[in-house]
Amino acid sequence: MKSIWKFGLPVLIAFLVVLSAVPAVTATTELTAIDPPDPNTPNIIGLSTKTIDRLIERIDVSESFAASSAKKQNTLAELQRIKTIFPNVTLADVQLIDDTLATLNKEFRSKKYPDESGSNGNNNPKWGGSGTSDPIISGTHNDLSRQAALSMGVSSSNAETVGRYALEPDEGIPYISSIGHFLPTGAADYAESNANDAKNLLVQGQTFEGYRKLAHSLHFIQDLSVPFHTIAYQNFLNHLNYENYVFNDWTSGQNFYSSTMSDPYYYEVSDVSTSAENLGNYINAYVDRIDEIMLQDSAWQSNTELITMTKDCLTQAIRYSRGTVGYVV
């Protein structure tokens, strides 16, 4: 068992000072290492016959597929055919599903989030939080990363670096920057390479760059705690809608922040990519159900089953983030 006590008295005092300065961050005085849950065998492509059924339901109410148009009839017929042969689909079948998802997603985005592109033109999913140059650094990635560092005994100034640079991997060209941030596109490996870079930089005394790399590593860990990041499609179904919800209810509404930060546990991490993959595989089991609830329950934002699953995702995020901090520092 590892605890904050291993860092010695000076660090402990600094830690307690930090705790008293920012009481909302954590009430934890000592974390306990526990075993992570067993991972599931992931449904990597994110598709099941159930998912195809929901795609069909969406096409029925979509304006992009005009009633009785040839495109609509053809797509529906193709999806019904794919269902009967699933999972022995062809590349062309996957392409058809992907195109359909892209069409539906585009329509959904323009209807639900007409102002989503915002003043800075950033229309990335909103799980993130603040960019490196924002005056106030808060948001899901920032807060999870900062608190993971603090609760594992990192000084407040270094933890601030970890919080500030947590969103950096998403910055750049919307969507393009985030291509590697999914379970099937290498997120677990990126978590590991950044963690190892961080470790080496810290050993060399490059404190700032070391903690900045740690922030990047935690970003990939946390992406894998988002159910929609554990499947193949960037534009998959309710991805954006769900991330916006978590971001909006982070410190108000459901206040996911406080339920996440009061968690007193962490997982030991000795192999970052293996841990990250375990996390993604575990979280993957939620994606179908969360998407289903979002489609079928018009008040899904207050659906207790969805809230329970979301809280577990965030709890896994903070525990694996803490473990990764422990691996690096």
- Residues at the interface with Zn ion (CB under 5 A): 170, 178, 181, 223
In the complex with Zn ion, which residue's Cβ is closer, 181 or 322? 181
List all residues 6 or more positions away from 186 whose beta carbon is below 8 Å from its beta carbon: 180
Q: Which is nearer to Zn ion, 54 or 141 (CB)?
A: 141
User: C-beta of 171: minimal distance to Zn ion in Å?
Assistant: 10
CB of 124 or CB of 254, closer to Zn ion: 124
Amino acid at 141: H
Distance CA 122, CA 119 (A): 8
Q: 19 near 140, Cβ under 8 Å?
A: no
Question: At its nearest, how many Å lie between Zn ion and the CB of residue 216?
Answer: 10
For residue 118, the Cα-to-chain-centroid distance in whole angstroms is: 21
Shortest CB 226 distance to Zn ion, Å: 8
Q: How far is the CB of 163 from Zn ion (least distance, A)?
A: 15
Contact, 273 vs 189, CB < 8 A?
yes
Residues 101, 90 contacting (CB under 8 angstroms): no
CB of 125 to Zn ion, least distance (A): 8
Angle at 136 between CA 208 and CA 243, to 5 degrees: 95
Considering the complex, state which of residue 105 and residue 234 has its C-beta at the smaller distance from Zn ion.
234
For residues 215, 12, 269 and 37, what is the CA-based torsion angle, rounded to 10 degrees? -100
Smallest gap from Cβ 173 to Zn ion, in A, equals 13
175: left (phi over 0), alpha (psi -120 to 50) or beta: left
Residue closer to Zn ion, measured from CB, 178 or 230: 178
Report in angstroms how near the CB of residue 124 gets to Zn ion at its nearest: 8
Task: Tell the smallest beta-carbon distance from residue 166 to Zn ion (Å).
Answer: 10
Instruction: Considering the complex, state which of residue 51 and residue 222 has its C-beta at the smaller distance from Zn ion.
Output: 222
Please give the residue whose beta carbon sits closest to Zn ion in the complex.
Answer: 181
| Alpha helices, DSSP H, located in the chain | 8-21, 49-61, 70-85, 91-112, 140-151, 156-164, 187-203, 207-223, 239-248, 256-261, 272-284, 287-296, 304-328
Measured from the CB atom, the residue of 168 and 292 that comes closer to Zn ion is 168
Q: For residues 96 and 183, which CB has a smaller minimum distance to Zn ion in the complex?
A: 183
Separation CA 291–CA 239 (nearest Å)? 9
**Closest approach of Cβ 188 to Zn ion, in Å?**
13
Burial class (CB in 10 A: 0-12, 13-18, 19+), 105: buried
* β-strand pairing of 265-266 with 32-33: parallel
The residues pairing with 145 across neighbouring beta strands, listed in sequence order, are none
The smaller minimum CB distance to Zn ion, of residues 103 and 140, is found at 140
